[in-house]
Amino acid sequence: MNDSSTAADKPWPSVSFLLPVLNGGTLLKGLLRSIRAQDYPGPVEIIMADGGSSDDSIAVAESFHARVLPNPHVLAEPGAALAHQHAVGDILFYIAADNGLPRPDWLRSMVQPFLDSSTVMGSYTQIVPSPGDNAFTEYYCRLHVEPFTWFVYGKACNPRDFHAFYADRHRGSNWVSYDFTAMRHPLIAFAQGFGVRRSFVRRVGYDKDDILPVIQLIEEGADLAYVPAAGVYHHHLSSFGHFVRKYSWRINNSLGTQDSGFDNRAKFLTRTRRLKKYLFALYGVTMVMPVIDAVFLVLKERRACMLWHAPASVALSWIALFAYGKHFFKRASLPTA
């Protein structure tokens, strides 16, 4: 559904990239270089909310003419919300230091839906492997998430599969929107290059999660435009060992907290997704189903890297079991009042 006036009649809106960073390292330079390489005809600003970097992140940002704000919250999502408050762009793109823009017309592609229709409040794309990625990193990018989330959300975790799970809502020149509901929401993250109109205001309590704002937009009836041709790099994991270390830390760090991840979005999980959340450990430790799924993923993607699904699923299951077991016995050993 397009507006009566054509997109060609409208000026390109100004854009702000919102970038929370804590020790962005070499990946930050790659992201900023890809932003400045865009052939976008409108104004583009970069706002980096720095959580107290001890490396050269601030100097790197300033060398690319980014505006740097101190982020006293340290955490990424509050930092992104802080950058939002200071942004002057008409369209705001949330992005992380480990992202990258694969093509110089990326910004044009992602802004186009906002020109096509006033009902579009957000635009997003899918993660794609970058040149030089190793097999495990490519596996993660093609799966779009780690094995646990893939197991829980299924086709709703990868925009390339949304057409098999959701009905079309509107189609534009280079995008499509789907009929989402809050309880059957897709796993779309603000942090992976999500674009939103500056008028968007997060609800109170949604500042520590990058999925809840998407659910909010769905509840508000907004069109969310999927732009398949854009793609976004995500250098989230560098190896299997990095995966084990990173998710061991994440799982252990999340225990005992109720304001992040799945627990933070619990009221928006269907019964099936809730059940799968608890069945994942059984799925992984039995090993059989991960191996079968890995074979199917290889056939689907036509990439041998998808065989990594089996060891990644098994490893994540055991990491979770050991972490929860340790947490349970620690709580049980505490003296009662």
**Does the pLDDT at position 332 exceed 80?**
no
**Does the pLDDT at position 330 exceed 50?**
yes
Structure tokens at 244: 């084990």
pLDDT at residue 319, rounded to an integer: 94
**Euclidean distance between CA atoms 290 and 116, whole angstroms:** 42
Q: How many whole angstroms from its chain centre is CA 152?
A: 16
pLDDT at residue 132, rounded to an integer: 87
Q: pLDDT above 90 covers what percent of the chain? A: 79
Q: How confident is the model at residue 77 (pLDDT cuts 50, 70, 90)?
A: confident
Other CB atoms within 10 A of residue 214 CB: 25
Q: How confident is the model at residue 9 (pLDDT cuts 50, 70, 90)?
A: low
For 29, residues 6+ apart whose C-beta sits below 8 A from its C-beta are 60
Beta strands in the chain (DSSP E): 15-21, 44-50, 67-70, 91-95, 99-100, 120-124, 168-171, 176-178, 192-197, 223-226, 233-234
**Does the pLDDT at position 337 exceed 60?**
no
> What single-letter DSSP state applies at residue 232?
B
Q: How confident is the model at residue 207 (pLDDT cuts 50, 70, 90)?
A: confident
pLDDT at residue 5, rounded to an integer: 46
Q: List the Cα angle 186/228/96 in 5-degree steps.
A: 70
Give residue-wise pLDDT tens across range 274-295.
999 999 999 999 999 999 999 9
pLDDT at residue 111, rounded to an integer: 98
**For 181-185, 301-305, 322-326, which range has the lowest pLDDT when averaged over its residues?**
322-326
How do the domains of the chain map onto residue ranges?
7-234, 240-332
**For 25-34, 251-260, 293-302, which range has the lowest pLDDT when averaged over its residues?**
251-260
pLDDT at residue 326, rounded to an integer: 81
**Does the pLDDT at position 67 exceed 70?**
yes
**Euclidean distance between CA atoms 127 and 331, whole angstroms:** 39
State the number of CA atoms in the 13 A half-sphere of 230 facing the CB.
30
Give residue-wise pLDDT tens across range 211-267.
999 999 999 999 999 999 999 999 989 899 999 999 998 888 777 665 556 667 888
pLDDT at residue 250, rounded to an integer: 85
Name the superfamily (CATH) of residues 7-234: Spore Coat Polysaccharide Biosynthesis Protein SpsA; Chain A (3.90.550.10)
pLDDT at residue 262, rounded to an integer: 67
Average pLDDT over residues 110-133: 96
Range 292-330 burial, b when 16+ CB lie within 10 A, else e: ebbeebbeeeebebbbbbbbbbbbbbebbeebeeeeeee
| Average of per-residue pLDDT values in the chain | 91
Q: pLDDT above 70 covers what percent of the chain? A: 93
pLDDT at residue 46, rounded to an integer: 98
pLDDT at residue 301, rounded to an integer: 95
